[in-house]
Amino acid sequence: MDATFLAAQGGFSLHDLTLALLVGSLVLLVSVAAVRLSVKSGLPSLLLYLAIGLAIGESGFGINFDNTELTQVLGYAALVLILAEGGLSTKWDGIKNSVAPAAALSTVGVVVSVAVVGSACRFLLDLPWVTALMVGAILSSTDAAAVFSVLRRVPLPRRITGLLEAESGFNDAPVVIAVTALATASTDPSHAEAWWVLAWHAGAELAGGAVVGLAVGWLGGQFMRRVASGSSGLFSIGIMALTVLAYAAAAAVHTSGFIACYLAALVLGNMALPHRQAVSAFATSLGWFAQIGLFVLLGLLASPAGMGAQLVPAIVIGLVLLLLARPLSVVVSMTPFRVGWRDQAFLSWAGLRGAVPVVLATVPLTLGAPDVRWIFDLVFVLVVVFTLVQGPTLPWVARKLGVTDTYQALNLAVESTPLEELNAELFQVSVGPASKLHGVEVFELRLPQGANVTLVVRGGSGFVPAPNTAIRRGDQLLIVATGETRKKVEERVRSVSENGRLAGWSRGG
């Protein structure tokens, strides 16, 4: 099939393909390079990707794109991949104690946030109640990609990272349901449902989606273990296909596809399936690809000409969201679980908004709600302004509140079949400035049998430590452990980091 035939059919020609590949590959390369700038500046990479989209759009290089329906479709597809990557990379041990409070923050907290922001929009911007609550719902979802692009450099305790991970996985689903219902009511008020009917439908959709996701995850994992364990590449494709299947199956029966996708990925990521590192690397790559494509697309859709008029409203509503709605939703949701005030304060500041609100701002447009184009501009400006405010300050806020951990352990995605065959795991420990690992000699760690510190990186240079090598602040330790001892090793290192070299002696450890 040649270009002449395609052109005759009015389709996508080879010339169009060449141009699309040229622009797309250049955008991807610039986006990859932008990550380095993001790390140095402390800004979430989403801002840089949005800037790239604006730069190549109608006010930059002149690419004219205004298809909100296509943006919503591609945005949902990208969110599926982002949720799948998040679920696959989340360890159940790290979030199991946070599931209940995160679920409360993703439901009760969302209701509180919608009510507060909606009321502010009603009385400060003089909007109809349905439109005001719709704006509140659009802005109520936090963005995991935005939060963790900043927090990767900040060693936080598991109680906080677990909450943020679980919340980001849970809260998209109820927010999508609320925005869709309110946008439908705005489009056709005669079909508006009472709040208790909407709450019942939302609960049923979430419960149904959870059942579908858990079933697809567990059954799919059993299936993949038996029929596709040979090739790591094919196995990774199969695992990602299962997460997409969970979304599609749930959506097909009118339940929440987003919660189904996340829970299926969470189950698959914690089933001790083969080729874990290959699956993790593949999912991470797709997650990055989805984030880059989504943010660039949203930047491309945005029209700078309409943003100036929304700057003041965006700042006003953003301040209500940041200083009132988010803290109140955290207090109401977290207090029953006895979460400390320092943790609550940090969770309040860490509620970054990102791609999800901007994607949801297209929903009223695609459903035909009247006079709502300004909502997209307002949400876009709000996300950019408050990401600039919150993103760079999160590490400082964490230190001031005293919620940083004394060290940080990261699983390393090493593509190595022998490690799996040996049932070995490789992870990195960063020795923080307040860690009591400083001055401890390697043998004094008393790691469990089957684990050892194999490399120390100090001042940019690596060396193999001797038993009497003293650990220093700022060191990076590379530890190899058997699968059975992985958890004990981390607990032991954490204990020494918090209590010093004598940690455990009083308990016979």
Q: What is the pLDDT of residue 456?
A: 92
CA angle, corner 192, sides to 188 and 193, nearest 5?
Answer: 160
Q: What is the pLDDT of residue 4?
A: 46
Residues 102 and 224 in one domain: yes
Residue where a domain terminates, one of 347, 371, 401: 401
CA distance 217 to 165: 19
Residue 3 lies in a domain: no
Q: What is the pLDDT of residue 506?
A: 47
Do 330 and 348 form a contact (C-beta atoms < 8 A)? yes
Total of domains in the chain: 2
Residues 322 and 387 in one domain: yes
Residues 58 and 176 in one domain: yes
Do 403 and 160 form a contact (C-beta atoms < 8 A)? yes
Ordered alpha helix ranges (H), 321-372: 326-334, 341-349, 355-360, 363-366
Q: Which residue numbers in the chain have pLDDT < 70? A: 1-11, 38-44, 144-154, 190-195, 229-230, 406-423, 504-509
Residues 95 and 184 in one domain: yes
Residues 197 and 264 in one domain: yes
Structure-token pair, residue 173? 């689903």
CA distance 57 to 298: 10
Cα→Cα distances 295→25, 252, 367, 388, Å: 15, 27, 22, 16
Residue where a domain terminates, one of 383, 401, 419: 401
Residues 397 and 412 in one domain: no
Q: What is the pLDDT of residue 365?
A: 87
Residue where a domain terminates, one of 401, 426, 450: 401
429: domain CATH number? 3.30.70.1450
123: domain CATH number? 1.20.1530.20
Q: What is the pLDDT of residue 417?
A: 47
Range of the domain at 450: 407-507
Residues 503 and 417 in one domain: yes
Do 242 and 196 form a contact (C-beta atoms < 8 A)? no
Residues 112 and 223 in one domain: yes
Residues 269 and 161 in one domain: yes
Do 122 and 112 form a contact (C-beta atoms < 8 A)? no
Residues 239 and 99 in one domain: yes
Residue 8 lies in a domain: no
CA distance 362 to 383: 15
Residues 346 and 458 in one domain: no
Please list the residues that pair with 408 across neighbouring strands: 430
Q: Which residues lie below 8 Å from residue 71, measured CB to CB, with a gap of 6+?
A: 297, 298, 301, 359, 362
Q: What is the pLDDT of residue 149?
A: 61
Q: What is the pLDDT of residue 1?
A: 42
Question: To which H or E segment does residue 8 belong?
Answer: helix 3-8
CA distance 108 to 35: 35
CA distance 304 to 314: 14
Q: What is the pLDDT of residue 165?
A: 79
Q: What three-state secondary structure class fits 483? A: coil
Residue 6 lies in a domain: no
Cα→Cα distances 373→115, 359, 376, Å: 22, 13, 6
CA distance 245 to 250: 8
CA distance 271 to 285: 21
Do 299 and 355 form a contact (C-beta atoms < 8 A)? no
Do 105 and 329 form a contact (C-beta atoms < 8 A)? yes
Q: Using the CB atoms, write b or e for 166-180: b if 16+ within 10 Å.
A: bbbbbbbbbbbbbbb
DSSP states of 68-80: HHHHHHHHHHHHH
DSSP structural state of residue 321: I
Q: Which residues lie below 8 Å from residue 388, measured CB to CB, with a gap of 6+?
A: 43, 47
Residues 446 and 389 in one domain: no
Residue 11 lies in a domain: no
CA 132, 137, 140, 146 dihedral sign is: negative
